[in-house]
Every structure is written in C-alpha cells, then in structure tokens.
Amino acid sequence: MTPLSPSTADRLRHLLVGLKMPRALEAFDDIVRRLETGELSALEAMQSLLAEEFETRESRRVKMGLMTARLTRIKTLEDYDFAFQPSLERDRVLALAGLDFIERKETVHFLGPPGTGKTHLATALGVAAVKAGKSVYFGTLAEIVASLEKAEREGSLQTRIRFLTRNALLIVDEIGYLPLTQNGANLFFQLVNARYEKGAVILTSNRSFKEWGQIFGDNVVAAALLDRLLHHAVVIHIEGNSYRLRAHRNLMPENLAAPQKPNPDKPTRRRGRPRKDQT
Ligand code: ADP
Ligand code: MG
C-alpha cells in the first residue's frame, strides 16, 4: 500500500475534528499504520475508523440513558437464574425482552414474595429498553409519590406528571411495601390516568391485587387504578423462594416467611404429568 500523503492525512484529521469525531481522530494514526503495513484493506480501515467512533457514542448514549432512567443497579436477563425459580414462565419473560410491550403501551406486573427477582426482572427490561434507544424512568412507588407530593407543594404538579408521562417506559417498583396517604394515592392515580394508553408501565409488588384497597387506603381509588393498570396487561407471578435467603433460609422465622400457598390472583394449574383419566 502506498503511504498516505501527509496532506491527505492532515485533511482527514481536519475532517474528523470538523465532524466532531474525537474517538476516530484518536484511533486515526494507528489505523493508517495498519493500512500501510497491509494489515487492513482500505475498506477495513474505513470500517475500523467509523466503528471506533460509533461504539464510543453508543456506550455514552446507553450510560446517559441509564442515568436519566435512574437505573443505577444494572441487572440483565442473562444473569437471572431461571432454574432457581421454576414457577416463573421463562418464555413469557423472554418474550417481554423483545420489547413489543413498549410499542403496544402495555402494563406488565411482576408479582411475588420478597427476593424472587421482581426488581431484577423489571430492571433488566428497563436496561434492555435503554439499549434499544427507548426512554425509561425507574422509581419505587414511594419515591415517585414523594416526588409528586413535592411538585404539588411547589405548584409544579402538572409539569412533574408530564415529565413522568414522557418516557416510553415507566417502572414503578415496590408497590405495597409502604402504605400511601390518601393524597399520595390520589396523586399516583393522576399519574396513572395521565399515562393510560400513552406509554408502557412495569409494576412490581409483593401483594395481591385484592390488597390494593389497603395499600392505597381507599377501595374506590384502588379499583380505578386497577381498572387502568389491568387493561392491556401482562401479569407474571413468581411463587418461589427468596434468592437473597438461598443460603440462610433456615434462619428466617416461620411466622415471617412468605407463605408458600398458591397466589389468590393466579388461576390454579396442576403441575406435572396429567393423570391418566385426563388424557
Ligand atoms: P424482589 O424485588 O423480588 O424482592 P430482587 O429482584 O431485588 O427481589 O432480588 C434480590 C437479589 O437477588 C438481587 O440481587 C437479584 O439480582 C438477585 N436475584 C433474585 N432472583 C434471582 C435469580 N433467579 N437469579 C439470579 N439472581 C437473582
Ligand atoms: Mg424489589
């Protein structure tokens, strides 16, 4: 390969500066050297130069997207051990990772006792959505309601609701750990109502829908919330043991352990091989 003339090399460097491609500029000399030694063809050199810049931008975009989404504890579906949670329908969770539920503006509920991976799965879907270029916002119900209450006090409730309605996916974690005040419940209803059919939502909860009256302190508000959050909804139950306690289950007092009875919201389904008289 004939060496690149200094003026051509300079002009290329100049173009990379003008095009604001700092990572490509950094990699330029090395790529030219590999081109001149014949290690790279001209097309490979172009590909390499653009890939350097593209990958840097992509990872910056994802980093920023995760920060804006407030997804600080990164989890992925690859590090979720489905074998530990045999009651969980793996294929349904993997289908959600295709992210069509976001396009369809559906609501996904992850229900199950503490430690079964509800936050993990919700986060993993949020991370996948950010990587796919969707805007996401993650918060616990308590955090989201506190931010609405603060906005209300400061006279900026509508702005806050608009902000929480703009994202393609809103993740509301930990419904049911802390009871809400009546005003908190009303504010959350306003948010859900504003988002209704406008954007996808993922909710996680350790409580059954029957208990929403208690959580939201009012049966009418709970019913109105569920009316919207169960329309276009995917409900995923996890009924197994806590992953956090997997090494110390025997230390959890029996009266505090999550009951292992069937979930009242889930239609019972026989496991195992069907009996002869049913086949
Ligand atoms: P939940 O929100 O249901 O209380 P988390 O999602 O916070 O539970 O899970 C608790 C911890 O255990 C997290 O660190 C999570 O990554 C991990 N974890 C839970 N279930 C699994 C699993 N099946 N495979 C791998 N890690 C898991
Ligand atoms: Mg959780």
CA of 138 to the centre of ligand 2 (A): 12
Cα distance between residue 92 and residue 110, in whole Å: 12
Q: With bands split at pLDDT 50, 70 and 90, how would you rate the model's confidence at 265? A: low
Residue 64 has pLDDT above 80, yes or no: yes
Among candidates 228, 225, 231, 169, which has minimal Cα distance to 202?
A: 169
Predicted confidence at residue 146, as pLDDT, reads 97
Q: pTM of the predicted model, to two decimals?
A: 0.85
Q: Which CATH superfamily is domain 70-251 in?
A: P-loop containing nucleotide triphosphate hydrolases (3.40.50.300)
Predicted confidence at residue 240, as pLDDT, reads 85
Strands in the chain per DSSP E: 107-111, 136-140, 169-175, 200-205, 233-237
Domain ranges of the chain: 6-66, 70-251
Residue 174 has pLDDT above 50, yes or no: yes
Exposed/middle/buried for 123, CB within 10 Å: 0-12, 13-18, 19+? buried
**Ligand located closest to 247 CA:** 1
pLDDT tens digit string along 131-154? Answer: 999 999 999 999 999 999 999 999
> Side by side, which strands form the sheet with 107-111?
136-140, 169-175, 200-205, 107-111, 233-237
Tell me if residue 39 falls in helix, strand or coil.
coil
Residue 145: which residues within 8 A CB-CB, separation 6 or more? 180, 184, 187, 188
Q: Are 80 and 122 in contact (CB under 8 A)?
A: no
> Is the distance from the beta carbon of residue 242 to the nearest atom of ligand 1 less than 6 Å?
no
CA of 23 to the centre of ligand 2 (A): 39
> Is the distance from the beta carbon of residue 85 to the nearest atom of ligand 1 less than 6 Å?
yes
Residue showing tokens 């919201």? 265
